[in-house]
Amino acid sequence: MKNFLAILVISVTVLFLGSCAPTPKGTTVKGQMEGAANLQVFLDKAGLGQQANMVLEKVNADASGNFKFDFPEGLEAGVYRLRIGRQRLNFILDGKEKVVQFDGNVDDMNFYNIQATGSTPTTTFFNTMQSLVKREMKADDVKNFVDTTANPLVAVFTAINSLGTRGEYLDTHKAAYERLAKVDPSGEVTTTYKALIDEVEMQYAAQLAEERIQVGQPAPDIKLTSPSGKEYTLSDLKGQVVMLDFWASWCGPCRRANPDVVELYKRYKNKGFTVFSVSLDGPRGIAGLSGEQLKAQQNDSKQKWVSAIEADKLEWPYHVSDLRGWEAAPAALYGVKSIPKTFLIDKEGKIARVGVNPLAALKQLEEDIKSLL
């Protein structure tokens, strides 16, 4: 599976879709790239799996960074890649293009900060990738994009590049696959993408089966102190719907999810919803620290924890931690091996949802909260 995924991640930059549209006679791909003077420029096209890198043509850019590829028989629909030195730029054709032009700087290629003209799917893809690079799109935005973008290959390529192969994104991958299968049911991309989805689904099912915490069981109790020293107990919140949130000040995905958690809290706090946040801030390698070293590092971790609460405006009162990092007692109790990790607890104090990720599926999380209220 690891080899398959590694090949896929590398190969997905150069997918092809077969023939989804009549191929025009004659396609030109050209550009002017600052920093490409007198360098070789490669144009690749390839399939998935073992057919990862198929070079179509190579040319030398001139002293001004201009290059040009001419294909008298045209280029069919699919995903292609420009390579200049170590830089890569993927683009998508629908098979109707006559002239496709790229302008910009070689150093911006990997970030898709390149001006593209002559291909609608390429322009759409570049805009989407720039939004992803800038972290302007969340998982729900990707799902909406997959459902609405005109070109199904753009949908597939965006889903894989943005969401990876984590199980919580299976619904989005399946939606992208269904769109692709309608236009190219037996194509290489379609069949290989389906095989990937099937493997991820099996792995995800096995992962859920191994979860220490299962839906329907009473939520194991947590009793810890807040930054001010006040003690909070999870079971005292029985009667409310509780989002138990494991996070840390140093966790980038946790911090990016916090604004959405704040909005959910504001929206439903008067209807019986609250958040119980357990921070995994704390030193690493506690076993090797002396008592004084441990205390000093825990004080430093506490300050970072408090600063993150203030900066992210986490206004609910239930913030607790034992400042032992990954060795925190609640993390072991709930089998937490990565964060953000959240659990929804119903009004009776029972586990209602496991592993709900605000960053991955905000709309689904909100629907779950509303159904429990």
pLDDT of 271-308, one tens digit each? 999 999 999 998 877 666 667 777 887 888 899 999 99
User: Tell me, what CATH number does 304's domain have?
Assistant: 3.40.30.10
- Does residue 37 fall inside a structural domain? yes
Full domain range(s) for residue 138: 2-206
- Does residue 232 fall inside a structural domain? yes
Per the structure, the count of domains in the chain is 2
- Does residue 134 fall inside a structural domain? yes
- The arithmetic mean of pLDDT across residues 197-215, rounded, is 78
User: Do 151 and 46 fall into the same domain?
Assistant: yes
Give the residue from 206, 231, 265 where a domain finishes.
206
Rounded CA-CA distance 342/246 in Å is 6
User: Do 196 and 102 fall into the same domain?
Assistant: yes
Confidence of residue 166 (pLDDT cuts 50, 70, 90): confident
Amino acid at 41: V
- The arithmetic mean of pLDDT across residues 256-260, rounded, is 90
Q: What is the mean pLDDT of the chain?
A: 85
Q: Output 117 or 11, whichever has higher pLDDT.
A: 117
Rounded CA-CA distance 124/155 in Å is 10
User: Do 99 and 43 fall into the same domain?
Assistant: yes
- Sheet of strand 115-117, all strands in order from the earlier edge strand to the far edge: 66-71, 27-34, 99-105, 115-117
- Is residue 355 within 8 Å of residue 371, measured between CB atoms? no
Q: Output 189 or 223, whichever has higher pLDDT.
A: 223
User: Do 246 and 194 fall into the same domain?
Assistant: no
User: Do 176 and 236 fall into the same domain?
Assistant: no
pLDDT at residue 353 in the model? 87
pLDDT at residue 367 in the model? 84
Rounded CA-CA distance 128/268 in Å is 32
Rounded CA-CA distance 256/263 in Å is 13
User: Do 197 and 74 fall into the same domain?
Assistant: yes
User: Do 145 and 259 fall into the same domain?
Assistant: no
